[in-house]
Amino acid sequence: MRRLCVAAVYVIAALLPTQLSAATAEERADLIGKVCGDAAAMGDAGRALAHISTDGSLDDQAWAASIARAVIDRKLSCDASGAVVVAAEGSLDAATRVQRNAGEASRSPLLSLKNRAVFEMAEAALTLRSAPDIARRSAALHTLERQASSLPEQLFDAAARDETDPGLKTQISAVAQAAALNSPDPAKRIAALGRIAATPDRRALTLVRALMNDPAYVANPAFKRAVDAATATIDRGIAIGDVLATLYNGLSFASILFMAAIGLAVIFGLMGVINLAQGELIMLGAYVTWLVQESLRHLAPGLLDWYLIIAIPIVFLATAAIGIGLEAVLLRHLYRRPLMSLLATWAVSLFLINLVRVTFGTQNLQFVTPFYVTGGVPVIGDFIFTWNRMFAIAFAIVTLALTWALMRMTPLGLNIRAVTQNRTMAGCIGIPVRRVDRLAFGLGSGLAGLAGLALAPIYSVNPQMGQNFIIDSFMVVVLGGVGTIVGTVVAALGIGQVNVLIEPLWGAVAAKVIVLLMIIGFLQWRPEGLFAIKGRRK
Q: What is the full DSSP assignment across 401-421?
A: HHHHHHHHHSHHHHHHHHHHH
- For residue 6, pLDDT over 60 is answered with no
Helix (H, G, I), strand (E, B) or coil at 311: helix
CA distance 326 to 343: 14
The answer to whether the CB of 287 falls within 8 A of the CB of 311 is no
What is the DSSP secondary structure assignment for residue 107, as one 8-state letter? B
For residues 143-170, one letter each, b for 16 or more C-beta atoms within 10 angstroms of the residue's C-beta and e for the rest, the string is ebbeebeebebebbebbbeebeeeebee
Q: Which of 398-402, 405-409, 505-509 has the lowest mean pLDDT?
A: 505-509
- For residue 536, pLDDT over 60 is answered with no
Residues in contact with 142: Cβ distance below 8 Å, sequence separation at least 6, in sequence order = none
Q: What is the pLDDT of residues 188-241, one digit of tens each?
A: 788 888 888 888 888 888 888 888 888 888 888 888 898 899 899 999 999 998
**Phi-psi label, residue 481: left if phi above 0, alpha if psi -120 to 50, beta otherwise:** left
**pLDDT band of 296, cuts 50, 70, 90:** very high
The answer to whether the CB of 319 falls within 8 A of the CB of 442 is no
For position 355, what pLDDT does the model report?
93
What is the DSSP secondary structure assignment for residue 78, as one 8-state letter? E
- For residue 4, pLDDT over 60 is answered with no
What is the Cα 530 distance to its own chain's centre?
36
Alpha-carbon Rg for the chain, nearest whole angstrom, is 34
For position 271, what pLDDT does the model report?
67
**pLDDT band of 18, cuts 50, 70, 90:** very low
458-462: average pLDDT: 86
Dihedral sign, Cα of residue 269, residue 272, residue 276, residue 280: negative
The answer to whether the CB of 263 falls within 8 A of the CB of 281 is yes
For position 153, what pLDDT does the model report?
67
Beta bridge partners of 77: 84
Residues in contact with 422: Cβ distance below 8 Å, sequence separation at least 6, in sequence order = 535, 536, 537, 538
Q: What is the pLDDT of residues 503-516, one digit of tens each?
A: 777 877 777 788 88
- For residue 430, pLDDT over 80 is answered with yes
Average pLDDT, the chain: 82
Phi, then psi, of 92 in degrees rounded to 5: -125, 145
CA distance 459 to 465: 9
CA distance 168 to 478: 48
For position 28, what pLDDT does the model report?
85
Q: What is the pLDDT of residues 66-77, one digit of tens each?
A: 888 888 888 888
